[in-house]
Structure 1
Amino acid sequence: MSKINYGNYFENFSIGQKIVHPLPRTVSEGDVSLYIAFTGSRFSLHSSDIVAREIGYKKRPIDDILMFHLTFGKSVQDISLNAIANLGYAEISFPNPVFVGDTVSMTSTVIGLKENSNGKSGVVYVHSIGVNQDGNEVLNFKRWVMVHKKDHSVKSEINIVPTFEASTPIVDKINIPTIGAIDTDASGGEYFFEDYVAGERLNHPEGITIDKSDHTLATKLYQNNAKVHFNDHMMKSTPMGQRLMYGGIVISMARAISFNGLQNAQWVYAINSGNHCNPTYAGDTIYAYTEILETIDHKREDIGLLRLRTIAVKNQNPTEISSPKGEDGKYLPNIVLDLDYTVVIPKKSTKK
């Protein structure tokens, strides 16, 4: 019997299958510093212990998207090692904060399978839950990934596709401390919950070019060993002709770029849905714009929520794009991410 783990192919998955992923990860200060180095993220809550204490934390929590990557990476060996592409996400929630020194781990359940008509691949749908060392849930999400089949001659014709909620429900208890004060000089932004209106569009001016070293090292940081991101020798023989960038890096870049205009929206409450619309490669420059879909008041007096749609664009200024889709209903070729997510933002009453 071979001792080598070659990863799971489409036919290795079954509905209801439960997978305990290996490699629990203890979060370090180095992880936080490297994440800033790779993304340029500037949210003050994740940069300063002083700001975190003024808000009400004992120390700064790590960036929610960094926590997503570190926890998500646990699932790659079992779910997407033989992936063609990670296709999308839904119902991602961040129930509890994670701090330096915490250890995160993950389990997944297969909730859907759909064999593609070409018989060479299929889509696997999973529900994954991340917990910390105390068993407290820190991440809960569903995703779907296209995976190679090992035997193209055998067709199962399985077609079990789950349904997803349009948005993550807003709970009464949000695990954010009562906000003491927001120093707008420290956060870099003067706008609060009451300043945003549904239908508003923010064209973020910054663009970030992602080099080979950036996406290679970032993916290694997350221990995401999917072949399409690492094996340049293999990928040169594919129609892509080069390595595919991990889609989570594009999410990080879009979130980092969105800082300009959303400086005080420092918490990601949920990711309602996300689509990787077109591939991204080394050398591409990422831009983004954000639409305010909904303003959601909360019974707490110190915070509200904004439901956002951030569109990431490669190699094109977002001011040149009125809609991410063309007249045929398909995404334009330069649209690489369509992310529907909800953030927590303080109300004006918290201004220092």
Structure 2
Amino acid sequence: MIMGAAKTNPGRFFEDYTVGETIHHAVPRSVGAGERALYHALYPARHALYSSDEFARSCGLKQSPLDDIAAFHVVFGKTVPDVSLNALANLGYAEGRWLKPVYAGDTIRSTSEVIGVKQNSNGKSGVVWVRTKGHNQRDEVVIDYVRWAMVRKRDLDAPAPEVVIPELKPALAAEDLVVPEGLRFDEYDFTLAGEAHRWGDYEIGETIDHVDGVTVEEAEHMMATRLWQNTAKVHFDVSSRPDGRRLIYGGHVISMARTLSFNGLANAQMVVGLNGGAHANPCFSGDTIRAWSEVLDKAETGVPGVGAIRLRLVATKGGAPFMLKGEDGKYLPDVMLDLDYWALMPM
């Protein structure tokens, strides 16, 4: 038997990252019209701008774009083999911006710049920060965000790198947000959108229980993760975790919570900013995801009729709404997601 050089990709380990390097991720992916139907089959997605070409055109867009979170999943999925294949945990997000809508027919690829590294005190793993950009076929950046993950070391004796922790904004300002070219809400049809509540009807500090729940099924979350070409072993291989359970991809929880938020936030149409996020506790098949939101801030965008609303979106596995952390400051065990984002809404 001839033993050749290894041709398979074992993924990167902590010591393989160098601050300042740019990683060009394989494989570009063209999204088609069926993407919307499949996304709506996986989640109870009902926001009108992403459901109807005619509604989107009445709002100044050329057609209904791919759901913003679905576009995020496409970009994120490209990065997994190079960033988080050997990750112990995906720790957080910051400075995320949706810069251009993604439409059927667009081809998306991803690049990531390593912007920070810090070895953990146990010497067995470390945290890696990357700034990821999704590009379309015209090389326009459609999404730009920072995330950080805890990654295993391959060689426990490898020396710790110089610590570099990037300075990140605690939240995007309204002027950091990009309103898609042509977007307008002057002919917005609130009846077709599903709710009458507009930007001025929401108050900072207000909380909204989205009421509905969806139980996660094993086959559906694996189908979703395959759709985004996310290759992380913990989502597919029961032997990759000590408890023998497949971990639900955090993006699946984000999508489910965002679509559940339609009930109460039907007019929060476009996600344009991601200020931060934490996957507080794991999600497994059989868990029932429920969601609630808190209004954190509001701002005008400079585009007539288009307002920005900053929301905290919390996904739970059935816990009481509006409960987030205990007296010890830690997330309650039934909280799975704490997401801070900006959306656009008619004024």
| Same fold, TM-score > 0.5, yes or no | yes
The alpha-carbon deviation at position 173 of structure 1 amounts to 5.7
Query: Contact 1:287–1:317 at 8 Å: present in 2 too?
Result: no
> Which residue matches 1:332?
332
The alpha-carbon deviation at position 158 of structure 1 amounts to 4.4
> Which residue matches 1:142?
146
Which moved further from structure 2: 174-183 or 59-68?
Answer: 174-183
Query: Contact 2:218–2:285 at 8 Å: present in 1 too?
Result: yes
> Which residue matches 2:345?
345
The alpha-carbon deviation at position 179 of structure 1 amounts to 2.9
Q: Deviations over 1:41-91 (max 9, x none)?
A: 111111111111111222111110000001111111111111112111111
Query: Match for 1:32: what amino acid?
Result: R
Query: Contact 1:84–1:228 at 8 Å: present in 2 too?
Result: no
> Which residue matches 2:238?
232
Task: Supply the distance in 2 between the matched residues of 1:21 and 1:100 (Cα, whole angstroms).
Answer: 21
Q: Deviations over 1:128-177 (max 9, x none)?
A: 11111111110000000111111223341643221210112323862242
> Which residue matches 1:350?
none
Given the alignment of the two structures, is residue 220 of structure 1 paired with residue 223 of structure 2, yes or no?
Answer: no
Given the alignment of the two structures, is residue 202 of structure 1 paired with residue 205 of structure 2, yes or no?
Answer: no
Query: Match for 1:260: what amino acid?
Result: N
The alpha-carbon deviation at position 213 of structure 1 amounts to 0.6
The alpha-carbon deviation at position 180 of structure 1 amounts to 4.4
Task: Supply the distance in 2 between the matched residues of 1:313 and 1:234 (Cα, whole angstroms).
Answer: 25
Please, which runs of 5 or more residues in structure 1 have no aligned partner?
348-352
Task: Supply the distance in 2 between the matched residues of 1:147 and 1:10 (Cα, whole angstroms).
Answer: 5
> Which residue matches 1:26?
30
Task: Supply the distance in 1 between the matched residues of 2:127 and 2:285 (Cα, whole angstroms).
Answer: 26
**CA RMSD across the alignment:** 1.4
> Which residue matches 1:81?
85
Task: Supply the distance in 1 between the matched residues of 2:121 and 2:207 (Cα, whole angstroms).
Answer: 39
> What secondary structure is seen at the aligned counterpart in 1 of 2:58?
helix
User: Cα distance 1:49–1:90, how it changes in 2: closer, same or farther (>3 A)?
Assistant: same
Query: Match for 1:175: what amino acid?
Result: P
> What secondary structure is seen at the aligned counterpart in 1 of 2:265?
coil
Query: Match for 1:190: what amino acid?
Result: A
**Identity of matched residues, %:** 45
Which residues of 2 match residues 265-344 of structure 1 at below 5 A? 265-318=268-321, 322-344=322-344
Query: Match for 2:271: what amino acid?
Result: V
Task: Supply the distance in 2 between the matched residues of 1:269 and 1:234 (Cα, whole angstroms).
Answer: 35
> Which residue matches 2:263?
260
Query: Contact 1:270–1:343 at 8 Å: present in 2 too?
Result: yes
The alpha-carbon deviation at position 178 of structure 1 amounts to 2.5
Task: Supply the distance in 1 between the matched residues of 2:100 and 2:258 (Cα, whole angstroms).
Answer: 19
Task: Supply the distance in 2 between the matched residues of 1:326 and 1:251 (Cα, whole angstroms).
Answer: 22
Query: Contact 1:119–1:155 at 8 Å: present in 2 too?
Result: no
The alpha-carbon deviation at position 309 of structure 1 amounts to 0.7
> Which residue matches 1:16?
20
Instruction: State which of 91, 105, 112 in structure 2 corresponds to 1:108.
Output: 112
User: Cα distance 1:328–1:285, how it changes in 2: closer, same or farther (>3 A)?
Assistant: same
Q: Deviations over 1:223-260 (max 9, x none)?
A: 0001111111222xx2x431211111111111011111
> What secondary structure is seen at the aligned counterpart in 2 of 1:133?
coil
Q: Deviations over 1:94-151 (max 9, x none)?
A: 0111100001111101111111122221111100111111111100000001111112
Calculate the TM-score normalised by the size of structure 2: 0.95
Q: Structure 1 runs of 4+ off > 6 angstroms?
A: none
Calculate the TM-score normalised by the size of structure 1: 0.93
Q: Deviations over 1:271-298 (max 9, x none)?
A: 1000111111111111111000111123
Task: Supply the distance in 2 between the matched residues of 1:72 and 1:53 (Cα, whole angstroms).
Answer: 28
Task: Supply the distance in 1 between the matched residues of 2:155 and 2:302 (Cα, whole angstroms).
Answer: 55
Please, which runs of 5 or more residues in structure 2 have no aligned partner?
none
Which moved further from structure 2: 157-166 or 255-264?
Answer: 157-166
Task: Supply the distance in 2 between the matched residues of 1:343 and 1:242 (Cα, whole angstroms).
Answer: 34
Task: Supply the distance in 1 between the matched residues of 2:113 and 2:263 (Cα, whole angstroms).
Answer: 37
The alpha-carbon deviation at position 299 of structure 1 amounts to 2.4
Q: How many residues align?
A: 341
The alpha-carbon deviation at position 220 of structure 1 amounts to 0.2
